[in-house]
Amino acid sequence: MSQRIRNALFKYMGSRLALKIGLSLVVMFFCSISGYAQTPGITIKGKITDSKTGEPIFGASVLVKGTSNGTSADLDGLYTLGNISGQDIIRFSYLGFETQEIRVGNFSELNISLQSSTSDLNEFVVIGYGVQEKRNLTGAVVSVGSDEISKTNFQDPISVLQGRAAGVQVTSNSGAPGGGMTINIRGNSSLNAGNSPLYVVDGVPIETNVSSSLNGTENFGLNPLADINPTDIESIEVLKDAASTAIYGSRAANGVVMITTKRGRSGKPQVDVNFNSGISTVSRNLGVLNASQYRSAVLDSYRNANSSEQIIPAVLDSLSAINNGDFDWQSEMFRVAKQSNIDFSIRGGSDNVRYAWSSSFFDQDGVILNSNYKRITSRLNVDFDVSDRLTIGQSVSYTNAVNNRSNAAGSGNLSIVRELLIRPPTFAMNLPDGSLNGYQLGRRNPVGLAQLSTNLNKSNRLIASQYAEYKIAEGLKFRSSINVDFVSMKEDTFIPSTLDFREGYNTGSVRSSNNMTWANENILTYQKQFGTSHNFGALAGFSYQDWKYERTGLDGLFFTSDNIRTLNGAGTISNQGVNVASEHSMLSYFGRVSYDFERKYLFEANIRADGSSRFGKDNRFGYFPSASVGWRFSDEGVFDNVNFMDDGKVRFSAGKTGNEAIGNYTSQGEFLVGTNYLDYSGASPSVMPNSGLTWETTTQYNAGLDLSFWENKLMINVDAYIKNTNDLLYNVPIPRETGFDFITQNIGSIQNKGIELLMTTRNVSTLDYSWSTSFNISSNRNSVKDLPDNLLTNGFIQNGAFHILKEGFLIGTFYGWRFDGVYASDEDNVNGITNGAQGPAYRGGDPIWHDVNGDGFIDQNDRQVIGNATPDFFGGINNDFTYKNFSLSVFFQFSYGNDIYSEINHQRNSIVRYNNLSTDALNRWRQQGDITDYPKPVRDDPLQSMSRIQSRWVEDGSYIKLKNVHFRYSLPNKMLNRWKISKLDAYVTATNLITWTNYTGYDPDVNSYSGLRVGVDEGSYPQSRTIILGLNIGL
């Protein structure tokens, strides 16, 4: 390159450091092209084939080892390569096949048959802005391939990771079709700036906040990745340590999930059809009182309240036409639900075009009446070689999903699950006139809620990425891409008047949202081998990303009819209409250098500079560096004679990542409009500005060990890490006298440390029979290291209703009163403990609370740690068996040592006025002297016996679950050849078959809230047991 341009470049750089780094790298690359030279020699040719099928391998790489002299095989697997000397070693490789190296010697023709490796992509893993040979990784990356995905029947990528990826904790928010999941990679590293990882689909960082419910009726109701059809996925990589994630800088503190979809390969088209269909049933029913048991409990609750009202509650009148029922509402609600799925794909390519085209249709009923999820996906991935140097391509995926949701876990009496469990069994289904008994004494009819109300969510999503890649010189490539993720969603709700107590009172709403993010990324990569042993790589790039969110909505009531549910039917529009928009942008520069010596000493360093519009002018840019080293000690001389070990490598990494997950305008402060007075529009201050806000940063250290023995019969990967997060973005509560509830500040620190083990064994491997096992286990301990003193009241921060944050304690610590049993009689309360300083003394049948400070009364100061939601360890074990053409895969997942705060058990043991109780209440205290651990039910619960946050609702959430069983029969080759098809498989997949647990709710795999309020069961949509039958045909 000319000096003139170089000067121009330098001049251009000005003083911006980030730019400087980026451009220095650019310049370096341009400079290093010049040293390229060629040497004369002989020519060699041959054919490369698949050892199994004998088919030619188009595109297989042929390379003179230690040089860049290489070529690739043509359509017929033929290659010709010149400029070779007899001393050269030729390296033959292709993705998915074992690499072979052969010394040329006197050969002039080398025909090679490559062995397919045990699993596709086993050799390579996708990393940020590139791929890397798995054995050369220096960071902590876990990978799940398409083989494993195909053995599950999950319809979203996150479920696939559950129990399969060490260090990745996945819990279900809801068992609903398309329901949400919470994913935590190496623990919680943020207090309230978000703990969800960054998702990157085919290089497109996608938006995941959009898919949660718009109208807030159910917490975290939707799965943000349900729009991605798992069948399309080639591999999912989870980047865990800072060395792997720092290239994604400010969004990477919670790890990065890279999803790579299948692309076409040159060769004849491969047609794949996969059809399956099955049923699900609810995995468990919970015990509730029947009508007569219920009436007796209500009577008790009146008697125990010593109510001055000597009225017999109407619910006890079994002759009344609306009170003569005897229902377990669960059996009126849960159904055997059907589902079916069909996938269709064609993949292939010619000389210069490769394509992967697929579409799918999925239709699933939920176990709750009327709930249904339908999804259509369509994808086209194309790569086109315009010339030897220029390749362009596009990945486009479109998803349409229609989710007829149930308001399973919403608040109050609109929650179906809660109504199922606490609506009195005596309430009639229908009124004497035959119409639905929709509402009675504050309880709504759950069957009516499910069947008559509307909660319809429709979404359209386009994820598209368009790229051009130009080979500037050997080893030097420039790639530019435009990525788009567009989600449009519409949600309709309607509650008909038949479910209300007021004549003609029905309510409805409509919400629609658009979420558009686009990014432009420009990357220069350079890869070169110097001599035979020095491998050098570098990458430099910059990107710009822009997010825009818009939401529009309207609420109405008094609709003309329950049958007209669009808002034009509303008699009253009950708000001024919602229409808000917000935006956010980020500009980034990043770079990487890597070097290894004979694949033995490995080194890599990354840096990213991110500038975000969310922060004030002076704090806009954050810098996120990382470095890692690896040492393949098995290649050292001393190991030459150690035959049982194939490979041994240690890895170390350190680096910094960030989190910018705060409100788009938090640092600027905000005046909210819409704080109206009647019809007069108002505005008011809502966020106090803090221009000093900056990134939350996480520094992570990782040490890893990769071992393989006896020709890969045993493979072990171990990782240990420490993650320190500082400058936590936190909404610090301030005195309300200021007019504000909190200010967002950078405060305190959290530490996560843990260890992860992945062990894969090939136990038996014969011609007919094989058995392999994969086992992973992880343990993460997080603790709050430092909180500013002025935030602490009584030494901790209350975090929602159930949890506290306290220095030295785990996140997810439950805090409340310890329940020590029940006073058998009034005299049992020998110390005369009272309820509050001035309240009454506890009597027979009241709970015994632990009087922590011994002051003789129970109040706020008697709260203590009553449990913790963090498991001691969790993981999964998978066994694959094959016998001839049969294969069986059995997968267990487990979690041990975590507690669940069962808010739903509180709900269903709290009679309040007329609620039904769990069958545990049969064991309740009834009279003086009764020895039991179930307190007396008291109308309105004046002493908060049930409603206190208490150890009684904390249960052991440990479990082992037979999560997945997959049995498959593949038609033998002989038959296939006769029918001229490449594959015909029949399979059965069962999900959630058996769960071993002491937890008494629907399922221990539950998490009603995201973020730090972990381990609470509010009564989500129950999990179901699913069995499907399927057929997979390849042409």
Partner 1 sequence: MKNTLKIFLGILLLSIYSCSDDLLQRDPISSFSAQGFYKTSSDAQAGVYGIYDAVQATFSTNFSLWGEGRADAVNTNQAGDPFLLQQNTLNSILASARWNNLYETISRANYAIKYIPTVLEDDNEFGRQLVGQARALRALSYFYAVRVWGDVPLILEPYESVQQNIFPERSDKELVLNQIEADLIFASENCRASFGGERNRILITRGAAEAMLTHLYMWKKDYPNAIGSAEKVLANNLYALVPMNDWSRIFTQGYTNESIFEIGYNEVQRNSLRVLYALGSDSNFFPSQSFRNSFEDGDLRQDLIYDVAETQPRKIWKFFGQGFSDESPDPSDKNIVLFRLADIMLLKAEAHHQMGQTAEALSLLNTIRNRAGLANLDEAGATNLYGDVESAILHERLIELSFEGHRWFDLVRTGKAIEVMNPINGLNDERNLLWPIHEDALNRNPNLSQNLFYQ
Residue with smaller CB distance to partner 1, 386 or 683: 683
Q: Tokens standing for 573?
A: 């529009």
- Which of 19, 429, 841, 993 lies at the binding interface for partner 1 (CB under 8 A)? 19
CB 810 within 8 A of CB 782: yes
Q: How far is the CB of 549 from partner 1 (least distance, A)?
A: 9
Closest distance between partner 1 and the C-beta of residue 720, in Å? Answer: 38
Name the residue nearer to partner 1 (CB basis): 744 or 783: 744
Site for partner 1 in 462-481 (CB under 8 A): 472, 478, 480
Report if residue 569 touches partner 1, rule: CB under 8 A.
no
Q: Which is nearer to partner 1, 478 or 881 (CB)?
A: 478
Site for partner 1 in 616-655 (CB under 8 A): 617, 620
**Residue 818: CB partners within 8 Å, gap ≥ 6?**
849, 850, 852, 864, 866, 950, 951
Residues 853-872 that bind partner 1 (CB under 8 A): 860
Specify the residue for token string 């010394």: 103
Bridge partners for 771 per DSSP:
764, 881
Is 941 a residue that touches partner 1 (CB under 8 A)? yes
- Burial profile 235-251: b = 16 or more Cβ within 10 angstroms, e = fewer: bbbbbbbbbbbbbbbbb
Q: Which residues, numbered 419-438, are part of the site for partner 1 (CB under 8 A)?
A: none
Least distance between partner 1 and beta carbon 340 (Å): 42
Cα separation, 80 vs 99, whole angstroms: 18
Shortest Å, Cβ 12 to partner 1: 7
Tell which residue, 461, 571, 567, 557, has the closest CA to residue 510: 567
Least distance from partner 1 to the Cβ atom of residue 97, Å: 35
- When asked if residue 940 is in the footprint of partner 1 (CB under 8 A), the reply is yes
Q: Is 311 in the site for partner 1 (CB under 8 A)?
A: yes
CB 931 within 8 A of CB 956: no
* Least CB distance to partner 1 at residue 467 (A): 14
SS3 451: helix
Q: Looking at beta carbons only, is 309 or 768 nearer to partner 1?
A: 309
Q: How far apart (Å, rounded) are the C-alpha atoms in residues 780 and 754?
A: 4
In this complex, which beta carbon is closest to partner 1, that of residue 533 or of residue 861?
A: 861
Site for partner 1 in 993-1022 (CB under 8 A): none
CB 185 within 8 A of CB 780: no
Whichever of 795 and 929 has its CB closer to partner 1, that residue is: 795
Looking at beta carbons, which pairs linking 322-327 to residues 24 or more positions away fall under 8 Å? 322/427, 322/428, 322/431, 322/432, 322/437, 322/440, 323/426, 323/427, 323/428, 324/426, 324/428, 325/291, 325/425, 325/426, 325/427, 325/428, 325/429, 326/290, 326/291, 326/425, 326/426, 327/425, 327/427, 327/429
Least CB distance to partner 1 at residue 214 (A): 15
* Residue for token pair 């050997």: 474
C-beta of 625 vs 669, nearer to partner 1:
669
Query: Of the ranges 2-10, 159-167, 234-242, 323-331, which one interacts with partner 1 (CB under 8 A)?
Result: 2-10
What track of x and - describes contact with partner 1 for positions 330 through 369 (by CB under 8 A)? Answer: ----------------------------------------
Q: Are the C-beta atoms of 252 and 369 separated by less than 8 Å?
A: no
The β-bridge partners of 440 are 443
Contact residue for partner 1 among 100, 296, 664, 928 (CB under 8 A): 664
Q: How many helices (H) and strands (E) does the chain have?
A: 11, 53
Q: Which phi and psi (to 5°) does residue 594 adopt?
A: -140, 150
Cβ-based burial of 766 (10 A; exposed 0-12, middle 13-18, buried ≥19):
exposed
Q: How far apart are CA 394 and CA 355, in angstroms?
A: 10
CB of 685 to partner 1, least distance (A): 6
Residue 577 found at the interface with partner 1 (CB under 8 A): no
What's the min distance (Å) between Cβ of 22 and partner 1?
8
For partner 1, the closer of residues 11 and 980 by Cβ is 11
Residues near partner 1 (CB under 8 A), total: 87
Member of 193, 607, 743, 858 binding partner 1 (CB under 8 A): 743
Query: Should residue 502 be labelled a site residue for partner 1 when binding is judged by CB under 8 A?
Result: yes
CA 834 to chain centre: 46
Smallest distance from partner 1 to CB 740, Å? 6
Q: Nearest 5°: CA angle at 220, between 214 and 221?
A: 75
Measured distance CA(475)–CA(109) in Å, rounded: 27
How many other C-beta atoms lie within 10 A of the C-beta of residue 743? 18
Q: How many Å apart are CA 930 and CA 832, to the nearest integer? A: 19
Nearer to partner 1, 859 or 933 (CB): 859
Residues within window 667-706 making contact with partner 1, judged by CB under 8 A? 668-673, 675-678, 680-690, 692
Contact 629, 138 (CB under 8 A): yes
To partner 1, the closest distance from the beta carbon of 973 in angstroms equals 50
Our finding on whether 514 is near partner 1 (CB under 8 A) is no
* Among the listed residues 275, 595, 601, 740, the single contact to partner 1 using CB under 8 A: 740
Query: End-to-end CA distance of the chain, in Å?
Result: 51
Q: Closest separation between CB of residue 251 and partner 1, Å?
A: 15
Stretch that binds partner 1, among 92-100, 259-267, 485-493, 577-585 (CB under 8 A): 577-585
Of 289 and 858, which has the nearer Cβ to partner 1? Answer: 858
3-state secondary structure of 513: strand
What CA–CA distance (Å, rounded) separates 413 from 446? 9
Question: How far apart (Å, rounded) are the C-alpha atoms in residues 807 and 786?
Answer: 6
Q: Is 838 in the site for partner 1 (CB under 8 A)?
A: yes
List the structure tokens of 665. 């305008």
d(CA 972, CA 421): 52
- Ranges within 48-67 binding partner 1 (CB under 8 A): none
Single residue of 15, 434, 736, 978 touching partner 1 by CB under 8 A: 736
CB 311 to partner 1: min, Å: 6
Answer for which of 318, 572, 923, 973 binds partner 1 (CB under 8 A) is 572
**Residue 787 CB, nearest approach to partner 1 (Å):** 14
- In angstroms, give the least distance from the CB of 661 to partner 1: 16
- Min dist. Cβ of residue 131 to partner 1 (A): 24
Candidates 504, 800, 836, 856; binder of partner 1 (CB under 8 A) is 836
In this structure, are residues 648 and 599 in contact, taking their beta carbons and an 8 Å threshold? no
Give the residue, chosen from 738, 763, 977, 998, that forms a contact with partner 1 under the rule CB under 8 A: 738
Residue closer to partner 1 (CB basis): 25 or 368: 25
Structure tokens at 548: 């825009």
User: Which of 8, 312, 922, 994 lies at the binding interface for partner 1 (CB under 8 A)?
Assistant: 8
Please choose, out of 237-245, 308-316, 528-536, 624-632, the segment that lies near partner 1 by the rule CB under 8 A. Answer: 308-316
Q: Which of 987, 886, 992, 893 is nearest to 341 (CA)?
A: 987
From the CB of 684, what's the least distance to partner 1, in Å? 4
Q: Helix crossing, 3-13 with 17-32: angle to 10°?
A: 160
| Per CB under 8 A, 12 contacts partner 1 | yes
Of 102, 131, 342, 734, which one interacts with partner 1 (CB under 8 A)?
Answer: 734
Residue 416 · residue 446 · CB < 8 Å: yes
Task: Show the site string, 254-293: x = touches partner 1 by CB under 8 A, - = not.
Answer: ----------------------------------------
CB of 701 to partner 1, least distance (A): 31
